Amino acid sequence: MNKRAKRYTSIGGEALIEGILMRGPKRIEVSVRTPDGIIDSEELHYQPLRQKYPILKAPILRGVASFIESMSMSFQALNMAADKSGMTDMEEESKFDRWLESHFGEKTSNLIMTIGMILGFVLAIVLFILLPSVLFNFFEKWVGEGIAPWRSLFEGIFRILIFLIYLILCSHQSDIHRMFRYHGAEHKTIFCYEHGLPLTVENVRKQKRFHPRCGTSFMVLMILVGIIVGFFIPFTNPFLRTFVKLLCIPLVMGLGFELIRLCGFYDNLFTRIVAAPGLWMQRITTKEPDDSMIEVAITAMKAVIPGNGEDMVEVR
């Protein structure tokens, strides 16, 4: 009896506030558990950049385009999930909130999220790029220039430690912990579909929660690729080095995306080694879901599965 070939789907998703986004080849669905216990599911309308600009389908460039698309979709989906889950109704309105609403009206929530994303991006640059470079310069003066060849490795290890500490701290917050459980439900549901099993709570519950094609794995791979790229940046001035690293971000994104794709399409020793750090980190970012979370994931998944099976390929 021949062993059934492993299958891979292009469908992917992400956890939201009390819900899940699933993205298929033709449809994007946002499913959220509302305060009264029902599942509110709605299509998210978004035209991918790669459809508008075919050049973005090229290797490396498609990774940059995918990252931008994910950020844009996440922005819209989080707004939808916040409204459906009742989160916006639970928050107490402050004087500052009333001032924002009077000046910006319905665009207030988008404004707040945009400002938050900008501040988060600036903070990420300082913590993950500038600070490691400054610390290495300080360490080099103390130890000696003999460690100069290991600059990029030191910076990369420091970035991984910051990322690890950040995730651990986030996982102890109740709301984020629930999102991590929805993240687990998303992965389990995709695995269930890839194994060709009916999408039932019982079948999904049995699946593992660590998936090689995951945003967490992508972030880890970006850090590891950044270490390699950093070896080719000769500058030691922290600000100049940070500037050059910012210019290299599209390359790092693109290479990280291609590695994630390899881990999805192929199952061999190389792809297992590449996927291993991200899968380990998912022990923090994915938690075991309850049945109600699995039901939300199944609802979103069923809405985006194409009828002709165009999303499926065999893993080699």
CB distance 186 to 289 below 8 Å: no
The SS3 call for residue 286 is coil
**What CA–CA distance (Å, rounded) separates 153 from 135?**
13
What pLDDT, on the 0 to 100 scale, is given for residue 152? Answer: 92
Amino acid letter, 298: I
Tell whether the torsion through CA atoms of 226, 227, 233 and 239 is positive or negative.
positive
The pTM (predicted TM-score) of the whole model is 0.86
Q: Where are the alpha helices (DSSP H) in the chain?
A: 49-52, 61-84, 87-90, 95-104, 108-125, 131-143, 151-171, 174-194, 201-205, 215-230, 238-265, 269-285, 291-304
Contacts 24+ apart (CB under 8 A), 256-260: 256/63, 256/218, 256/221, 256/222, 256/225, 257/60, 257/62, 257/63, 257/64, 257/66, 257/67, 257/218, 258/59, 258/60, 258/63, 259/221, 259/225, 260/212, 260/213, 260/217, 260/218, 260/221
- Residue 1: per-residue pLDDT: 35
DSSP string, 216-234: HHHHHHHHHHHHHHHTT--
**Nearest residue to 74 via CA among 32, 123, 121, 21:** 21
What is the amino acid identity at position 161? L
22 in Cβ contact with 301 (< 8 Å): yes
Indicate the DSSP class of residue 91. S
pLDDT by position in tens, the chain (length 316)? 344 556 788 899 999 999 999 999 889 999 999 999 999 999 999 888 888 888 988 999 999 999 889 888 988 898 899 888 876 655 555 554 554 555 555 555 566 667 777 888 888 889 888 999 999 988 888 887 778 889 999 999 999 999 999 899 989 999 999 999 999 999 999 999 999 999 999 999 999 999 988 989 999 999 999 999 999 999 989 999 999 999 999 999 999 999 998 887 788 899 999 999 999 999 999 999 999 999 999 999 999 999 887 888 776 6
